[in-house]
Amino acid sequence: MRGRLGIIGGSGLYDIPGLADAAWQDVDSPFGVPSDAILTGTLGDQPLAFLPRHGRGHVHTPTSVPYRANIDALKRLGCTHVVSLSACGSFRADMPPGDFVVVDQFIDRTFARDKSFFGPGCVGHVSVAHPVCDALSAACVTAARSVGINVHAGGTYLAMEGPQFSTRAESVMYRDVWGADVIGMTNMPEAKLAREAELHYASVAMITDFDSWHPDHGAVDVSDVIATLQGNGTKARDLVVALAADLPTGCAVGCDTALTHAIMTAPDRRDPDLIAKLDAVAGRVLTPKDKT
């Protein structure tokens, strides 16, 4: 039995073909209430957990999503790998609606979210120079291609605060000056928190539209965007099924050892209340004294 695969996504993934022993579980987190209960089950021989990022019925804005609680809850359920599936806009003519992009870099423009499990009383610093798991990302590309998805291996995701979409001036800057490939509102701080939790994390961005840089963007019919979104949901389910059959182990980035040298606060100066909250996220590197 391999480590549990966690999926964070939207309503199109509630019904995963072949998921056995499916059940919704409430998971308590010291970092708050997760977005929703978590759907658990087994796909083939692969344990799986699915978390609706915005909650069933889409009740959370991109800003109000409880990112820390979500990642902590998945870690508590035994997830070792987490794949983010999210809608996005495209900055590239060769990345049209309906295509998927397996992201390998981020530009974080969010500003109103809790971005770390650590804080005063337990200071921790992890590297996000390479913010995704290379092995899991490669497996996502392989899985996507195996089910006929037009997928791009690599791309930079611009994470904006939202909930409004970009102005045209912002869109042109992100595209032409900053070199971003896609834009969305939810992958940050999710990716950073997954690294702090020593999880293998991959981001699959599902393109629904061109952002406002595109001269024809204003002419796009909303019904066309919704149809693309629904089609992407079907593709995403197929990708998950294919990925579950061949989940990789290990990676070159060292996702599962990210905290080895990260905690800076001396053991005798650590805040016991914060340490208690970090039992799942950082339990591997906490000292016996911390755990008493």
Residues acting as catalytic residues:
209, 211
**Phi and psi at residue 3, to the nearest 5°:** -60, 155
284 is in an annotated binding site: no
| Residues 74, 77, 82: CA angle, nearest 5 degrees | 40
The response to whether 90 counts as a known ligand-binding position is: no
Give one DSSP letter per residue of 143-192, joined into a string: HHHHTT--EEE--EEEE---SS---HHHHHIIIIIS---EEESSSTTHHH
To the question of whether residue 21 is assigned a binding role by annotation, the answer is no
Cβ–Cβ < 8 Å for 65, 35: yes
Rounded to whole angstroms, the Cα distance separating 73 from 2 reads: 19
209 is in an annotated binding site: yes
Is 86 annotated in a binding site? The answer is: yes
Q: Residue 240: what are its φ and ψ, rounded to 5°?
A: -60, -45
Whether 185 has a binding-site annotation, put simply, is yes
* Residue 87, annotated as binding a ligand: yes
Tell me: is residue 125 an annotated ligand-binding position. no
> Would you say the C-alpha torsion 73, 79, 81, 85 has a positive or negative sign?
negative
211 annotated binding-site participant: yes
CB atoms within 10 A of CB 58: 11
212 is in an annotated binding site: no
Residues near 268 by Cβ (< 8 Å), separated by ≥ 6?
none
Binding residues, by number, are 11, 53-54, 86-87, 185-186, 209-211
Binding residues for substrate, by number, are 185, 209-211
Binding residues for phosphate, by number, are 11, 53-54, 86-87, 186
